[in-house]
Structure 1
Amino acid sequence: MKAGIHPEYHEIKIVMTDGTEFTTRSCMGKEGDTLRLDIDPKSHPAWTGVQRIVDTGGQVAKFNKKFAGLGLKKK
């Protein structure tokens, strides 16, 4: 291997969505940093098979609010 071209490989702490923690080695950040996951295998529908609604405001409601005044003008 060439010297000086590889990133530093060190231990970081991973915090899952349910609060469980574990230590792994990574090139992310610096020694002792913490990575907090928003989605992990315990909460993602691809692994759990349970669909949760994340956006309760809705994209259609946002669109209607943004473009409400662009309808046909009435005489």
Structure 2
Amino acid sequence: MKTDIHPTYFSDARITCACGNVIHGGGTKKEMSVEICGACHPFYTGKEKIIDTAGRVEKFKARVAKAKTVEPKNKLKKTARATTIRKATKTLIKKAK
């Protein structure tokens, strides 16, 4: 087996969470930082957190509102086209008789 190919293992590594919780354990880095740990994770704490990244909920609501205003225009176009098709069909039937 080759020697000196494995990373250095620190048995006293320090892992710091964004909530301030500090965990001591082993790792290949002396200090690490994490965003969520067992002390602040919603699954383990029973508290639900809604993380809204860059107003995604507001963007979605705006898109839904815009879709509701555009919908009647499309329906008008469809009904106008349907009536012209009906008229054209009736005239073709009259000509065929």
**TM tier, smaller:** 0.5 to 0.7
- The answer on whether the counterparts of 1:16 and 1:36 sit within 8 Å (CA) in structure 2 is yes
More helix by share: 2
Q: Which runs of 5+ in 2 are unaligned?
A: 74-97
**Map of 1:6 onto structure 2:** 6
Q: Percent identity?
A: 31
Q: Which runs of 5+ in 1 are unaligned?
A: none
Count of residues in Structure 1 that have an aligned counterpart in Structure 2: 69
Q: Which has the higher contact order (CA 8 A, sep 6+)?
A: 1
- The answer on whether the counterparts of 1:17 and 1:43 sit within 8 Å (CA) in structure 2 is no
Greater Cα radius of gyration, structure 1 or 2: 2
Deviations 1:7-65 (A, max 9, x none): 2212421113432324322024xxx3x22221111111111121111117234x32465
Instruction: State whether structure 2 residue 47 is matched by structure 1 residue 46.
Output: no
TM superposition score normalised by structure 1? 0.56
TM superposition score normalised by structure 2? 0.47
**Map of 1:37 onto structure 2:** 34
